[in-house]
Amino acid sequence: MKNLSPEQSAKREKTLLASVLLSMWAPLTTGIAVILSQSTTQLADFIRRSVELVALFVSWWVFRHLGQNSALDAEKKARMEKTAGLCVAAALCCSGAVMMALALSRLSTFEPGGFVYPGLAIAVLGLIKNTWFWRRYTRLNREQYCTIIEAQRYLYRAKALVDLCVIGALSAVAFMPTHPATRYIDLLGSVILALYLIWSGLRSGQATLLQAQPGLSAMEEK
């Protein structure tokens, strides 16, 4: 973050704030959708969005704090950037672990059905939003590397791909509720989400830790 100009810093802070504000409604709307449905994937998606919102807020706060306190020594700045990056990685891994546990716990009792259309609509809108932020953070990071922005790129790439999986699982529940395969599609959706989120979290955490090592070029991680 030390190489960012005031204009670049302001642009990134606004993007981070927009991420937080737009994500604040996701747990609420998804929670309502969960009440209306009995989808394992939908419930897991609600947990994921809630945990990720915390990580987004921490990243925005750290970036803003660093921008307003330029007198901080380099070691403390690096430590705070590392904390924000690891928070995102932990959120991804935590979401994945919760999803996996939920899917396994409901394996023998799950019954596809319920009113999943609100959740399906939310997932489609989420895919559009998350894809836009993924591309946005990718462009910002190519312009000037920043550890916090790199973590957001990992996060939104995972969020966009997860939304694709959620759409597929919920579509099966919505349009083929009585088909024998629907049960396994919905549960398999949760397992795929879990594995991908854990993988993304580990990758993001690894990138953050490597960037914290002295002498490592940021471009080597890209």
pLDDT at res. 25: 81
- Write out pLDDT tens, residues 53-81: 888 999 999 999 888 887 778 888 888 88
Query: In Å, how far from its chain's centre is CA 2?
Result: 25
* pLDDT tens digits, one per residue of 121-174: 878 988 999 999 999 999 998 988 888 998 899 889 988 888 887 787 778 777
CATH architecture designation of domain 6-213: Up-down Bundle (1.20)
**Tokens read off for 27:** 């747990």
Q: How confident is the model at residue 13 (pLDDT cuts 50, 70, 90)?
A: very high
User: What is the pLDDT, as a whole number, of residue 17?
Assistant: 94
State the pTM of this model. 0.77
- Of residues 32 and 110, more confidence is placed in 32
Judge contact between 112 and 180, C-beta under 8 A.
no
**37 is written with which tokens?**
């449905």
% pLDDT > 90, the chain: 19
Contacts of 168 (CB under 8 A, 6+ apart): 185, 189
What's the half-sphere exposure (Cβ side, CA atoms, 13 Å) at 142?
Answer: 6
* Average pLDDT of the chain, as a whole number: 80
Domain ranges of the chain: 6-213
